[in-house]
């Protein structure tokens, strides 16, 4: 198997081009096959090699045009700080739960009818008649609970590890907006099965919005598309649940992850950097930071070089 780093690096830049193929990569293949058809069985090894080479070539072709391999290697092989532990998987687990919701949601939408007269029976149809219908419906339903739990766990980790502090304040704000959007998804998804719980929970939820002074009553009318919960309310909730909020969530997850890569993930607050190998003269920052328990022993040379982007420290692991 080709190494992944090979896949990501364009062919001309690869470290060890295979002998005999570096100069003329593509043309010999058909010639070989034509000139010696009976030899094919013995040639299996070489065709196999070529078959393995094909995805690499394809990646190289794409990369020649996108020039993304630098970014991808930077992102994939950026260093995560010492001490990174299982608590740091909660964010990606939340993302994964969201992906489960997105995929199962798309397939549920193929069978669901957002109409007041048919919504209930279309869910019954999914549950009773569609192959694996109840299973996919169940994954979406319970995936919602799992996602809510993971969002809170992820937020709890960020809070107790002080990871929302400088320079990651903006990422915390984006995260809280994502929490609100997740709860909005949970709320709007409620109404869709159109059973008793759906109906009354939506009534109560809309009325909660209505208790806001002055704008509240109009907000309720907007959510319901009228003075009473009716046909348009369901399509409105459906559009919010599967177009508006997911779009916003995807965009914000993109921004959230961009900042994670850009700023790097935090280390657990207890992890301290060991004494560096080379002791250098202490800098004038000493006075400012010594009260913090921080030893700036090795800090001098790196002050100017401090970068907070994800490409820092990339490259082959030493």
Interacting residues with another protein between 14 and 73 (CB under 8 A): none
Nearer to another protein, 60 or 224 (CB): 224
Q: Is the peptide bond before 167 cis (omega within 30 degrees of 0)?
A: yes
Nearer to another protein, 21 or 87 (CB): 87
Nearer to another protein, 47 or 92 (CB): 92
Choose one: 28-36, 56-64, 221-229, 251-259; the region binding another protein (CB under 8 A): 221-229
Nearer to another protein, 19 or 305 (CB): 305
CB of residue 69 to another protein, shortest distance in Å: 14
Residues 69-108: x where in contact with another protein by CB under 8 A, - otherwise, as a string:
------xxxxxxxxxx-x-xxx-xx--xx--x--------
Nearer to another protein, 17 or 276 (CB): 276
The two three-digit tokens of residue 77, written as one number = 């092989």
* 24 burial type by CB count under 10 A (0-12 exposed, 13-18 middle, 19+ buried): exposed
Q: Does 252 bind another protein (CB under 8 A)?
A: no
CA 313 to chain centre: 23
Q: Does 258 bind another protein (CB under 8 A)?
A: no
Q: Does 153 bind another protein (CB under 8 A)?
A: no
* 169 burial type by CB count under 10 A (0-12 exposed, 13-18 middle, 19+ buried): exposed
Nearer to another protein, 187 or 238 (CB): 187
Site for another protein (CB under 8 A): which residue of 53, 63, 114, 143? Answer: 143
Q: Does 193 bind another protein (CB under 8 A)?
A: yes
The two three-digit tokens of residue 225, written as one number = 């598309």
Instruction: For the segment 198-217, give every residue that binds another protein (CB under 8 A).
Output: 198-201, 203-204, 206-208, 210-214, 216-217
Phi, psi dihedral angles at 87 (to 5 degrees): -60, -25
Site for another protein (CB under 8 A): which residue of 168, 185, 241, 242? Answer: 168
Phi-psi region of 80 (alpha: psi -120 to 50; beta: other; left: phi over 0): beta
* 108 burial type by CB count under 10 A (0-12 exposed, 13-18 middle, 19+ buried): buried
* Contact criterion met (CB below 8 Å) for 54 and 2: no
Nearer to another protein, 25 or 246 (CB): 246
The two three-digit tokens of residue 152, written as one number = 């809170």
Q: Does 134 bind another protein (CB under 8 A)?
A: yes
Which of 176, 159, 172 lies closest to 269 in space, CA to CA? Answer: 159
Phi-psi region of 196 (alpha: psi -120 to 50; beta: other; left: phi over 0): alpha
Site for another protein (CB under 8 A): which residue of 3, 142, 251, 280? Answer: 142
Q: Does 163 bind another protein (CB under 8 A)?
A: yes
């Amino acid at each position: 198997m080709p190494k992944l780093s090979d896949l990501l690096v364009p062919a001309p830049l690869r470290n060890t081009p295979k002998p005999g193929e570096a100069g003329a990569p593509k043309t010999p293949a058909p010639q070989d096959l034509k000139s010696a058809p009976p030899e094919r069985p013995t040639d299996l090894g070489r065709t196999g090699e070529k078959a393995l080479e094909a995805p690499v070539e394809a990646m190289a072709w794409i990369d020649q045009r996108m020039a993304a391999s630098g970014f991808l290697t930077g992102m994939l092989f950026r260093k995560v700080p010492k001490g990174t532990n299982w608590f740091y998987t909660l964010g990606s687990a939340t993302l994964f739960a969201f992906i489960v919701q997105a995929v199962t949601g798309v397939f549920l939408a193929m069978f669901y009818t957002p109409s007041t007269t048919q919504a209930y029976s279309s869910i019954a149809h999914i549950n009773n008649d569609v192959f694996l219908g109840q299973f996919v419906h169940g994954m979406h339903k319970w995936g919602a609970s799992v996602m809510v739990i993971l969002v809170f766990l992820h937020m709890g980790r960020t809070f107790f590890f002080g990871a929302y502090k400088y320079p990651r304040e903006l990422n915390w704000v984006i995260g809280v907006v994502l929490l609100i959007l997740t709860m909005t998804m949970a709320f709007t998804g409620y109404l869709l099965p159109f059973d008793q719980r759906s109906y009354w929970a939506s009534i109560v939820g809309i009325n909660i919005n209505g208790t806001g002074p002055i704008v509240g009553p109009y907000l309720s009318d907007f959510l319901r598309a009228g003075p009473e919960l009716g046909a348009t309310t369901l399509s409105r909730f459906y559009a919010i649940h599967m177009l508006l909020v997911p779009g916003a969530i995807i965009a914000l997850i993109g921004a959230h992850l961009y900042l994670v890569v850009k700023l790097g993930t935090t280390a657990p607050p207890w992890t301290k950097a060991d004494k560096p190998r080379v002791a250098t003269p202490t800098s004038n920052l000493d006075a400012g930071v010594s009260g913090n328990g921080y030893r700036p022993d090795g800090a001098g040379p790196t002050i100017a070089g401090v970068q907070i982007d994800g490409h820092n420290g990339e490259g082959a692991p030493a």
